[in-house]
Chains A and B, each alone.
Chain A
């Protein structure tokens, strides 16, 4: 398993709602337009799919991976 601590930049309230429904992402806090969360991956091969899903959400501006922990 891979755990990535992330900051997601969003625009508007709708984006947060849509993001919180994603199974691989847990959100914990919000500061202005930044959301703090953790993405869980089984392996890096899932990344392509995750990237696509995130980009398809309206109001999603970008993602920074700030930490990673691997089991």
Chain B
């Protein structure tokens, strides 16, 4: 509606409103509705891990519109956030100039000054205290090229593993889940499996709000075919309301439910002995931490105690529902699982992931169209840019591990750095990294494209650490102040989304190219350019000029992409064929993608030759069809884990009788730095609230709109109540988007021993009417 002036707009508003009251079927004429653009450029949505394809409409050097890409997987659909994307670009709080904090006041400086300051601080720390005195905290929203460069700089050039990314907070358990069960990370299936599945098992995911466009695909199948939807969630979300079978339970007891489902599947002989024989091994972790291979009989003994009765007693979920879910899961023609933060953000996140994989392995509901365990991602490039690139403290690019000597040598050779440069011990993970910063062990940290000052659990503690005067915090952000940049010593203005070019890789292994469409605002620069400048400058300041030239010779981001492709070539990720040109042409490509002439959209299903995995025969020449070739140590078989059910770190008790769980709303995304700049979205979801079940509210005398004080062992917050039949009794829910209501200051920072992912989803709290 850009053509309308304000006068016309009000006139049309009066008309349209009157028309709908009176029941006239009347819309704005096409000619007025159509947006005038100079050209439409193919790109990808900036927000969640669904990775919807879209076109950006540009007019006179400005982004004026977006529309869904109907040739991409999302079939032209976008959610309401995505539809308002153009408005995030010129928000008044975009950071336009480098700013330094001097005596508590912000001062604008030039880029040269900023880079000099930053380089001298980092170089000084490294000279004085060694390479482990500096750190980097990256993001699943950076482009792959940017994350790859940062990883190469810190692990390959500086020689420290003090580099982790925010996917540690959202994806780590899923990644370790895939690795422990199948040998290598990332799902084997894809969104296309939705078209073939007869049963959807959705656990710990409110897809309809957090991944609305994927949920639409499921609902489309529900309308067309007789499919069953099972939802397991302590909140009766829109997702749950669309389920054929809804299992609610006390948060943290879902491991009982998953094991009980396996129990039913075994007892009722619904498992697939042939598949189990051919493709599974069984393992357990002994109390001393040692991993032991066991037999199927051991598994049967282990699962014996997890009767539906026992699960009902522990979880509060009726046993009939557990039995029904198990039967549907096992007997449907193809079952597809989805899970997200409800499973991952847990102290037993990896175990819960393993237990979901167990169900697929026992029943053979895997490696066929529609039968697959599929983990949903939160960020647009958490898979492609962090898990795959290896920007995590324990990882090296493309499935290689820091702790593995052979892998370290491979990368040292590939990068051309001396043997022994990559430090053999995995570095501190997100929470640990900020604990080290808080303790003063790390002197300088660089945070890029993320907002830990709002998003870390028990956030007040780490905010204090970030605010320390004797350390140096650099934040590259597109918006300033954010809850992180306000604590920084130096803020670098970052180009945002279509102001820079790069690659995103979403949940289903689909890599997509995002072109630069407009110029960055003010003096903002792409993080790519800044990391490159910093890398060269730092190495030079450390007297390693030759290395600076050798390791960071790139002229543009495409050259880095070519190096990345080469880096993936001999791994199970192999996307050598995904040249920039190919990515620009196609609507997203799924790896493996071994050659330039490989047909689009690439490999939909992995670990199965029959359904087109091009690498299967290379890694497992003897395989007939299915092979979990990421796990050669176990003869290319998948692992069914004997994982006992263990509760959360902080269950509800007498003093803190409610369980606080946090999550998302459809209108906002993460810490809201982008979506909260869109007035239309703020109108729909203006502030934080606490959802309370009507039964609890009645007991406490709380009505919708009343102020409620929520207190945990770490802090308290006052929020308006929303009394609604969504959370089950005993559970309260608060969205974590709002910067003025830091609910994360209440959340526990206990984390999973295997994935180091914190347990955001379960914290004990008490409620009082404020």
Contacts and interface: CB of A to CB of B under 8 A. Distances in A.
The answer to whether A and B touch in the complex, with CB atoms under 8 Å apart, is yes
Given A38-B11, A69-B13, A31 B24 contact: yes
A36 B7 contact: no
A29 B26 contact: yes
Q: Of residues B6, B14, B16, B17, which shows the largest number of chain A Cβ atoms within 10 Å of its Cβ? A: B14
B11 to A, nearest CB: 5
Interface string A1-32: 10111110000000000000000001011010
Nearest to B8: A3
Contacts of B24: 29, 31, 36
Q: Range of interface residues on chain B?
A: 10 to 19
Contacts of A69: 10-11, 13-14
Interface string B21-42: 1111010000000000000000
A44 interface: no
A64 to B, nearest CB: 8
B15 interface: yes
B14 A36 contact: no
A71 B8 CA distance: 11
A5 B14 contact: yes
A66 B23 CA distance: 11
A62 B658 CA distance: 59
B22 A7 contact: yes
Nearest to B12: A38
| Interface band, chain A | 20 to 34
Given A28-B26, A36-B24, A1 B10 contact: yes
B770 interface: no
Nearest to B23: A31
B19 interface: yes
Interface in B671-730: none
Given A28-B26, A36-B24, A67 B18 contact: yes
Interface string B576-619: 00000000000000000000000000000000000000000000
B5 to A, nearest CB: 11
B21 A67 contact: yes
Contacts of B22: 7, 31, 34, 36, 64, 66
B14 A67 contact: yes
Given A31-B24, A36-B26, A38-B14, A1 B19 contact: no
A55 interface: no
A67 B17 CA distance: 6
Contacts of A5: 13-19, 21
A62 B6 CA distance: 29
17 contacts: A1-B7, A3-B11, A3-B13, A5-B17, A5-B21, A7-B22, A26-B11, A28-B19, A31-B22, A36-B18, A36-B24, A36-B26, A38-B14, A38-B18, A68-B14, A69-B14, A71-B7
- The 8 A-B pairs with the shortest beta carbon distances in the complex, nearest first, are A5-B18, A67-B17, A5-B14, A66-B18, A3-B14, A69-B10, A66-B21, A67-B18
Interface of B: 6-7, 10-11, 13-19, 21-24, 26
